[in-house]
């Protein structure tokens, strides 16, 4: 995608990309504030489903004016390119920290922080539905921030987007109920966080060798994998987070956070 001219902002460099969007570090012209500009491909403007998803993400972020979610500053169109200007978080992603290696204590601390963030989001009637290491960033003081609410579900709104198969979350972190098309609630995000905790502890992805179709089947049917002996003390926590049935998981992110002792 050719770099667009975004009114009111000067692009500094590209810092991320996906199938339908590019993310740039940019400076707001009138005060020099550094922001992350999420710019969607121009084809999205002709795609009613993706455009609705984009507008919904902006509305959700604007409503979630809390410390656990990236602040949002502006939304508009740069020519045919829809964009959102949001808080720039320079301390990297959880995916990068996993790659570098985390101690079990650090993994548990991050899990507790993210659980508290999820509890706040869930209390506002929002389910993220695409929680993964790349969607967890950090502020300079180390606090995690959840980003990318393009698949989030506002429980106060019924939307046809929930039935669009092309908008499925990342299979690696999907809950069993997402994999089978059942109704999801806050406990689905807890499952996803369990898959992330497994990755933080082991530096391997859950059900790592499976392709997308087998991976979804394993989320539904396969037993929770066993941690190495040195990490076995954390197995009961993972078993509850990754329970196949939502009724057997932690019933709220607050309950999860309260269970983790450091």
Residue 4 lies in a domain: no
Q: What percent of the chain has pLDDT over 70?
A: 84
Identify whether residues 143 and 222 lie together within a single domain.
yes
HEC assignment per residue over 27-67: EECCCCCEEEEEEECHHHHHCHHHHHHHHHHHHHHHHCCCC
Question: Does a structural domain hold residue 139?
Answer: yes
pLDDT at residue 163, as a whole number: 43
Residues 33 and 129 in one domain: no
Distance CA 174, CA 193 (A): 10
Give the pLDDT of residue 16.
81
Contact 5, 79 (CB under 8 A): yes
**Dihedral of the alpha carbons of 21, 26, 29, 34, in degrees to the nearest 10:** 120
Instruction: Say yes or no: 161 and 42 in one domain.
Output: no
**83 and 99 both lie in a single domain:** no
Domain boundary among 66, 87, 108: 87
The pLDDT of residue 126 is: 86
- In this structure, the answer to whether residues 155 and 42 fall within a common structural domain is no
- Same domain membership, residue 155 and residue 231: yes
Q: What is the rounded CA–CA span in Å between residue 228 and residue 198?
A: 11
Q: Does the annotation count 148 as an active-site position?
A: no
**Does 30 share its domain with 58?**
yes
> What would the pLDDT profile of 23-61 be if each residue is shown by its tens digit?
899 999 999 999 999 888 776 666 777 677 767 776 777
116 and 16 in a single domain? The answer is no
Q: DSSP character for 217?
A: H
What pLDDT was estimated at residue 3? 66
7: Cβ contacts below 8 Å, ≥ 6 apart? 76, 78
Decide which of 87, 115, 146 is a domain's last residue: 87
Question: How does pLDDT run across 50-99, given as a tens digit for each residue?
Answer: 677 767 776 777 767 778 888 888 888 877 778 889 899 989 899 999 99
Of 28, 54, 87, the last residue of a domain is 87
| Same domain, residue pair 66 and 103 | no
The reported pLDDT for the residue numbered 168 is 52
Q: How far apart are CA 91 and CA 153, in angstroms?
A: 27
Structural domains in the chain (count): 2
Q: Domain of 64?
A: 9-87
Q: What is the reported pLDDT for 190?
A: 98
Taking the C-alpha atoms of residue 69 and residue 136, their distance in angstroms, rounded to an integer, is 10
Query: What's the CATH number where 131 sits?
Result: 1.10.510.10
Residue 102, in any domain of the structure: yes
Mean pLDDT per 10-residue section of the chain, whose length is 262 residues: 77 81 91 91 69 71 76 82 87 94 96 94 88 92 84 57 50 93 94 98 90 89 95 97 97 96 77
Q: Are residues 63 and 106 in the same domain?
A: no
Cα separation, 220 vs 53, in Å, equals: 27
Q: What is the helix, strand, coil percentage profile of the chain, to 5?
A: 45, 20, 35
* Residue 2 placed within a domain: no
Please state the pTM of the whole predicted model.
0.87
How long, in residues, is the chain?
A: 262
CB distance 144 to 113 below 8 Å:
yes
Four-CA torsion 64, 242, 216, 132, nearest 10 degrees: 40
Q: Which of 41, 130, 148, 189 is catalytic?
A: 130
128 domain residue, yes or no: yes
CATH code, 32: 3.30.200.20
């Amino acid at each position: 995608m050719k770099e667009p001219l975004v009114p009111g902002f000067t692009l500094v460099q590209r810092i991320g990309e996906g199938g339908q969007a590019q993310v740039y570090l940019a400076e707001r012209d009138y005060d020099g504030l550094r922001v992350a500009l999420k710019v969607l491909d121009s084809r999205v403007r002709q795609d009613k489903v993706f455009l609705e998803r984009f507008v919904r993400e902006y509305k959700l972020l604007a409503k979630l004016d809390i410390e656990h979610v990236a602040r949002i500053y502006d939304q508009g169109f740069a020519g045919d390119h829809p964009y959102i200007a949001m808080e720039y978080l320079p301390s990297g992603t959880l995916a990068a920290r996993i790659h570098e290696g985390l101690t079990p204590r650090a993994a548990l601390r991050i899990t507790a922080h993210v659980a508290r963030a999820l509890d706040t989001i869930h209390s506002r009637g929002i389910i993220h539905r695409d929680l993964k290491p790349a969607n967890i960033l950090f502020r300079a003081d180390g606090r995690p921030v959840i980003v990318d609410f393009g698949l989030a579900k506002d429980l106060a709104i019924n939307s046809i987007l929930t039935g669009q198969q092309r908008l499925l979350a990342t299979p690696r972190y999907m809950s069993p109920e997402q994999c089978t098309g059942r109704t999801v609630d806050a406990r689905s995000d807890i499952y996803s966080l369990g898959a992330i905790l497994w990755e933080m502890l082991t530096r391997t992805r859950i059900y790592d060798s499976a392709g997308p179709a087998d991976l979804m089947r394993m989320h539904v049917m396969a037993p929770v994998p066993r941690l190495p002996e040195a990490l076995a003390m954390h197995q009961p926590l993972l078993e509850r987070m990754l329970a196949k049935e939502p009724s057997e998981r932690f019933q709220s992110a607050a309950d999860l956070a309260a269970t983790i002792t450091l």
